[in-house]
Amino acid sequence: MTGNFVVAVDGSPGSERALKIAIDLAKPANVALTLVHIIEWSPFSFHTPDELAERHGRREEELDRAKEVVLGPAEAAVKAAGLNCESVVRHGHPAESVIEIAVGSGASQIFIGRKGQSKMGSLLFGSVAGSLVQVSSVPVTVVP
Amino acid sequence: MTRLFLALAVLFLTPHSAFAAGFDEMINTATAPIASAIGTFVFFKITVFGAQLPLVVLWLVIGAVFFTFRMGFVNIWGFKHAIELVRGDYANPDDAGEVSHFQALATAVSGTVGIGNIGGVAVAVTVGGPGATFWLIMAGFLGMSTKFVECTLGVKYRNENPDGSVSGGPMYYLSKGFSERGMAGFGKFIGTFYAIGIFIGALGIGNMFQSNQAYVQLNNVTGGMFDGLGWLVGLAMAAVVFAVIVGGIKSIARVTEKIVPFMAIFYCVFALIVIFMNSAAIPEAVSNVFTGAFTGEGVAGGALGALIIGFQRAVFSNEAGIGSASIAHAAVRTNEPVTEGMVSLLEPFIDTIVICTITAMVIGTTAVAYPGFAGDATGIAMTSAAFKTQISWFPIPLAIAGMLFAFSTMISWSYYGLKGWTYLFGESDKGQTIYKLIFCAFVALGCMVQLGPILDISDALVFLICVPNILGLYILAPIVKKELDTYMSKVNSGEIKKFKKA
């Protein structure tokens, strides 16, 4: 009996395709899906005092927006296919956080789109999918 | 207010060098007596052992010593825990996305590491001799405890606003803390006094002093290209500050905040290089520091004079006792105020014990190896001359670093001053914009006045706010000690645990 599938979603066409493939593969064995959205954040960044004071409020906004815009539609798609679904949104390093969640929930596979919504920097310095493939202890399926 | 706008309008309409020089003179002559009067009042001196000891410096020194003892030398044993906190060893994964300890520290340090670390130290050594360096370090060391108390209180007594933002700082902990101790009326008065003090004081230490020295170094490095054009450089700097704090162009600030740590490291690396190039002079420079500290030969007021100036410039640099850092640290969303106090221990360490000392050693070793290297230069010009003796091109990156340090300090202090203003006048947007405009005006002003009066007025204003702040720290110290003991027992019992990464 396979453990759940973790799908990294960010609302991009790439992640939608990854979700579709995960659903198709999960259906026959009725595997549960864990939808994960990571808001890129590092504790080691530099800010103005203004930004620090506003941070808590903005964090709440970011979490709400993620749940509504990204996870909501994805969850609906999974439920429509008749599968069990759990959603997680977290701040942190995208690749590391996905792996942490996957390992923590005993996932048997991670699904991720090859190209996401990530910023120009990721294009230059490597994508989340690329990092995941290199560091993950859980099998990763990269969907082009 | 109207006069200020009128003056600015005239300035804008007639950008004429001779007029500007006259304007400079006008401002200079106007401010000097005011600076002098405030200075005499704040720095009321008593004569001790032949030295003129300003009571306010005594107040600071006693405070720092008292807090060091009262908190059981937390500045020594708390250091390791502070590093662990900043590294994230105790960071709860559920809190990811909130302000981290590192971010609070980085912001506060960015605010304190200003041009005082480069120029102020030179002033200390000029006035107090090499011995001032020793007292600078002592002040940094003892000031860690003062900062600890301030920042713990800042978090404990902050206001969480309905829109999710946070307002904290001495005006809050003074008024709330005192009312907890049954002195509500006095607390309100002191809080208000502090708020007034900080929004005015921000215009000195966090503003005019910074822009002035940045301009001086720029002028220095370009061979006097900007002589008499202080108003022009000032306006340019004011425009950039305006773009950030009024225009909300955060990207400028973000870039600066990111570059400042690297510039600080760059500065320290090159300072160490210069010191090692003067390695033959190190033993003598170090012994000068110690003899100067305790005998103070050739310094007005002797060893005590060195102590006074060392403490003055250290507080000016690391802001321990001023309470400004507690405003930045209050934003961290933690249930344990002591954690922010611990983290803030590192600030005077980084600012004074590391960076200021390095600057002092550059000047000290150069003075031994190349006597008379500075000529008449004071402040940042002197530090620049010291670097120049070994690395002829260094004044240029020094000017850039100085400009960035000054800029990041100005941004932080505009925020601190603003918090004082909004404490008094409410959070209305119009009111905030007025203060921000005043702040920008003073950025320009700073470049038009000589260092002397600026330093006098900045010192006076800053030390003025130390008085109510430290009074508050004394009265609230038992609360902090209790928090510290409770927190440490939780840590030692494992109730507050480290979150090990998988």
Give me the amino acid identity at B113: V
User: Residue B14: what pLDDT?
Assistant: 43
CA distances from residue A91 to A39, A41, A67, A108, B92 in whole angstroms, order as listed: 5, 6, 13, 23, 12
Average pLDDT, consecutive stretches of 10 residues, N- to C-terminus, chain B (502 residues): 56 48 65 70 70 80 93 93 92 87 90 87 89 92 95 92 85 92 88 90 88 86 81 90 82 78 90 92 91 76 82 87 91 89 94 93 91 83 90 88 88 90 86 91 88 79 86 93 94 79 45
Q: Is residue A67 less than 8 Å (CB to CB) from chain B?
A: no
Report the residue of chain B nearest A60, measured CA to CA: B164
User: Residue A37: what pLDDT?
Assistant: 94
Three-state SS at B68? helix
CA angle B178, B316, B381 (to 5 degrees): 165
Give CA–CA dist B104/B206, Å, rounded.
18
Q: Is residue A59 less than 8 Å (CB to CB) from chain B?
A: yes
Q: Name every residue in B having a CB less than 8 A away from some CB of A.
A: 88, 91, 93, 96-104, 106-107, 110-111, 163-167, 250, 253-254, 257-258, 260-261, 327-328, 330-333, 411-412, 415-416, 502
Is residue A124 over pLDDT 90? no
CA distance A104 to chain B (A): 9
- Cβ-defined contact of A43 to B102 (cutoff 8 Å): yes
% pLDDT > 70, chain A: 91
- Cβ-defined contact of B254 to A100 (cutoff 8 Å): no
Q: Is residue A56 less than 8 Å (CB to CB) from chain B?
A: yes
Give CA–CA dist B209/B200, Å, rounded.
13
Give CA–CA dist B280/B284, Å, rounded.
8
Q: Is residue A50 less than 8 Å (CB to CB) from chain B?
A: yes
User: Residue B67: what pLDDT?
Assistant: 94
Q: Is A62 exposed, middle or buried (0-12, 13-18, 19+ CB in 10 A)?
A: middle
In chain A, the N- to C-terminal Cα span, in Å, equals 27
Question: Strand B51-54 vs strand B45-48: parallel, antiparallel, or unpaired?
Answer: antiparallel
> Can you tell me the ipTM of this complex?
0.85
Selected for mutation to probe chain B from A42, A52, A65 (highest B CB count within 10 Å) is: A52
Query: Helical H runs in B319-350?
Result: 324-329, 337-348
Give CA–CA dist B418/B241, Å, rounded.
14
User: Residue A46: what pLDDT?
Assistant: 84
Q: Which residues of A touch B167 (CB under 8 A)?
A: 53
As a dihedral over the C-alpha atoms of residue B42, residue B70, residue B113, residue B86, rounded to 10 degrees, the angle is -160
CA distance B100 to chain A (A): 5
User: Residue B13: what pLDDT?
Assistant: 47
User: Residue B380: what pLDDT?
Assistant: 87
User: Residue B35: what pLDDT?
Assistant: 67
Q: Which two tokens stand for residue B67?
A: 């807090």
Domain boundaries in chain B? 42-493
Element (H, E) at B288: helix B282-294
Closest CA to B139 of B203, B61, B45: B61
Place of tokens 């510290």: B484
In a 13 Å sphere around the CA of B72, the CA atoms on its Cβ side amount to 9
Within 71-100 of A, beta carbons closer than 8 Å to B belong to 90-92, 100
Element (H, E) at A46: none
- Cβ-defined contact of B258 to A55 (cutoff 8 Å): no
User: Residue B347: what pLDDT?
Assistant: 93
Higher-pLDDT residue of A104 and B259 is A104
Three-state SS at B149? helix
Give the number of other CB atoms < 10 A from CB of residue B462. Answer: 27
User: Residue B502: what pLDDT?
Assistant: 38
Task: Please name the member of B98, B163, B327 whose beta carbon is closest to the beta carbon of A55.
Answer: B98
- Cβ-defined contact of A100 to B103 (cutoff 8 Å): no
Report the residue of chain B nearest A49, measured CA to CA: B328
CA distance B360 to chain A (A): 28
Q: Which residues of A touch B331 (CB under 8 A)?
A: 49, 52-53, 55-56
DSSP string across B109-134: HHHH-SGGGTHHHHHHHHHH-THHHH
Is residue A47 over pLDDT 80? yes
User: Residue B484: what pLDDT?
Assistant: 95
- Cβ-defined contact of B166 to A56 (cutoff 8 Å): yes
Q: Is residue A119 less than 8 Å (CB to CB) from chain B?
A: no
Contact B455, B204 (CB under 8 A): no
Residue range B42-493 in CATH 1.10.10.10: no
CA angle B239, B243, B244 (to 5 degrees): 125
User: Residue A81: what pLDDT?
Assistant: 92
Residue range A5-143 in CATH 2.40.430.10: no
